[in-house]
Structure 1
Amino acid sequence: MNNNTPVSPRPLSHLSDDARSRVLSLAQLRERGVPGGRATAQCRPGGPWQQPLPGVFLLHAGPPTADERLRAVLLYAGRPSAENSRGVPAQPTSASSPSSTSGSGSGSAASGSPYGAVMITGPAALALYGFTSTPPLLSLDRIDVLVPRTRRLRSTGYARLIRAHSLPCPELIDAMPVAPVGRALADAVAELSDADAVVALLTEAVRAGHCEPALVVRELNQSGLLARRHVVDAVDTLLAEGRTLAEGRLYELVRVYGLQDPLWNVDLRLPGGPYLGGVDAYWPDQAVAVELDTRAPRPGGRDEDRTDDEDELWAAAVRKREHLERLGITVVHLTPRKLREAPEQQATVVRTALMAANDRDPAAQVVILPR
């Protein structure tokens, strides 16, 4: 063989041996020695490959799986780093839990991902989290992907880009970066005009334990969705649902951990005097009260107005607690999240308050009324 003898192209069948590597970007193919022209030729009519999105290649001719569609969208929207261009999944530098807030992250949080600083969001993300009120992944006409606002790409095909000034820290599901539940919910709700569909999504998020109502409302608020009447109505249903669930967890905590039965949902006032406020549980012999902190940001007005309202709600709660404690009543605040995630610890907090009653001065006499 001399220098003028044509060299046969290397067979490409080995590239599709690994199911996880059957979706590759042009940059990743070049890293594997496949030039752009040859990759494009593979996608001609009747060819063995296809190109579902610009610059993204599916290394087989059949319909893409749900997993392949997701990875194709991530590759189209993202910027795989050179060190990850060989398709080796990398962990993001940090990740949030489903119940943590997603509004304070940054694009650098996903910089270790093989897909760059992008993540699946909206209905596709909720389907990955196991939501049953969203369509199955394969039936989605488009897949939402959260990208930095400076990303110079357009939505195309089944990839819809949602730009954000600040990106949350993603969750990893099957080695794919996925927006936290709260942010994914907000992006899904933004595309819904049907009140029942919004209620179904928000209710499932809370009922299935994906996140707490306060987080959902905060994400909707930050996304500007609380200006929509049908979303506000859904939030009212959500908050009622969240409180009911929290009360159920409190009842279960008392039963499971063998605490003395309290008086449930009562109002307190001084004899012949002013109203002191309502509590969710009260042990009169020990003068211990439990309050569930289910407060959440409420719609209406500008961001700074809502902050003032929240400050006033917080100040009113502090004044109520201080008044009760001046009367010798111990007030224990429990949050829905703590009741869900650490019930034994919360039972210990309540039990400790009850046991400490013997070491305190007697509390003032109060009138107890059913709510």
Structure 2
Amino acid sequence: MTHNTPLSPRPLRRLSDSTRRVLTAAQLRAQGVTAAETNEQCRPGGSWQQILPGVFLLHPGPPTSEERLHAVLSYAARSSFRETPAGATGAAGVAGVPAQPHADEPRPAPRYTDAVITGLAALTLHGFSSAPPLPSLDTIDVLVPRMRRLRTVGCARIVRSAAMPTPSYVTGLPVAPVPRALADAVGELADAGAVRRLLTEAVRGGHTEPAAVVRELTQARLLNRPHVVDAVDSLLAEGRAIAEDHLYRMVREYALPDPVWNVDLRLPGGPHLGGLDAYWPEQAVAVELDTRAPRQEDDALWSEYARKREMLERLGITVVHLTPKKLRDSLEQQAAVVRTALMASCDRDPAAYVVVLPR
């Protein structure tokens, strides 16, 4: 074959109908386009271009953000299109490979196996205003299993993972859940302000809970970086403030009796029993918000929390344990739990007398 040999007319016409098409070399071959024909199209001044190794953009202009995302996934994935049923034959006559549609036919939905967008690009797709816009990102992070033999190249930055997360799907693309995407983004950021803004938006925007973020940061071994630790402290404070607002709203909207807020309990002339977020003295019912995050150095704090709860319950005080997630996702149900505890106080033995002090 020479460079003047005409290309196979049907595959080329079909592939050229789309001005926003990203295909791999294997997908082109499946449509009857040989390597020589692909190289010819990608010559200087040609109609196509190679955007990543083995991945081609079927128009000469710069790729859109969507095309870059698909290109990165196509480069990293084991498989990039849904398979047709066994024995089926596409229009190109290749069994098991879907045919490329005409311009007026629906395109088969991509299925990217073992490849998930993560990092800043994932946060942008999740709607983070503090994440940079996709066109400004020089590279797009993509998660792959640890044993995959891939290298970072061009706009694709390979991030290896021992355990692949279950992706969310944003505009049909597999995207890492927010906590994992945050950890992968933070691992590449040295700007303390940028880290703090991302973590704060994650909680304030309702994308995730502080505990889930800290768990991922711990697994990524990022909590030995001072600027990350400072941002996590701000994150936990933000999470507590939001949880407290939900608790106030629960009492108000579901007509619970007014408690005393943010108090310390002591035995008369005795030791300090601990602080509570809300307490109903007449019913001896307490609410405690658990806004702690799972950090390795918090073992002692977990033990202290358990001791406090056990001591209060020995004194006849019912402790209702609420988390930010419970308050965010099922406020009415949590109100019912508190109301039940208040009503049940009539059937319990009187609690020990305790001194209630403002905290």
**Normalising by the residue count of structure 1, what TM-score does the alignment of the two structures yield?**
0.86
Moved more, 39-48 or 190-199: 39-48
**How much has 1:312 moved relative to structure 2?**
3.1
Asked if 1:195 corresponds to 2:192, the answer is yes
The 1:16/1:326 distance shift into structure 2, 3 A limit, reads farther
The 1:220/1:363 distance shift into structure 2, 3 A limit, reads same
The residue that corresponds to 1:157 in the other structure is 154
d(CA) in 2 for partners of 1:122 and 1:370? Answer: 43
The 1:224/1:361 distance shift into structure 2, 3 A limit, reads same
d(CA) in 2 for partners of 1:179 and 1:17? Answer: 32
Of residues 171, 195, 212, the one that matches 2:209 is 212
**How much has 1:17 moved relative to structure 2?**
4.0
Asked if 1:339 corresponds to 2:323, the answer is no
Segments of structure 1 that go 5 or more residues without pairing to the other structure are 1-5, 91-113, 299-305
Matches within 5 A, 1:30-45: 30-45=29-44
d(CA) in 1 for partners of 2:283 and 2:17? Answer: 69
Asked if 1:73 corresponds to 2:72, the answer is yes
Of residues 147, 162, 169, the one that matches 1:172 is 169
**Normalising by the residue count of structure 2, what TM-score does the alignment of the two structures yield?**
0.88
The residue that corresponds to 2:117 in the other structure is 120
Letter in 1 for 2:39: T
Question: CA offsets per residue over residues 148-181 of structure 1, 9 Å max, x none?
Answer: 1222121111111111222111111122111111
2:291 aligns to what SS in structure 1?
Answer: coil
The 1:210/1:190 distance shift into structure 2, 3 A limit, reads same
The residue that corresponds to 2:142 in the other structure is 145
Q: Is the 8 A contact 2:211 2:292 kept in 1?
A: yes
Aligned-pair Cα RMSD in Å? 1.8
Letter in 2 for 1:267: D
**How much has 1:247 moved relative to structure 2?**
0.7
2:117 aligns to what SS in structure 1?
Answer: strand
The residue that corresponds to 2:109 in the other structure is 89
Higher relative contact order structure (alpha carbons within 8 Å, sequence separation ≥ 6): 1
Asked if 1:129 corresponds to 2:120, the answer is no
The residue that corresponds to 1:14 in the other structure is 14
The residue that corresponds to 1:322 in the other structure is 310
2:325 aligns to what SS in structure 1?
Answer: helix
Question: CA offsets per residue over residues 104-145 of structure 1, 9 Å max, x none?
Answer: xxxxxxxxxx22201100000000000011110111111001
Segments of structure 2 that go 5 or more residues without pairing to the other structure are 84-96, 99-106
d(CA) in 2 for partners of 1:17 and 1:131? Answer: 34
Matches within 5 A, 1:350-365: 350-365=338-353
1:227 aligns to what SS in structure 2?
Answer: coil
**How much has 1:286 moved relative to structure 2?**
1.0
Q: How many residues align?
A: 333
Asked if 1:293 corresponds to 2:290, the answer is yes
**How much has 1:88 moved relative to structure 2?**
3.4
**How much has 1:261 moved relative to structure 2?**
1.3
d(CA) in 2 for partners of 1:360 and 1:16? Answer: 78
d(CA) in 2 for partners of 1:312 and 1:76? Answer: 46
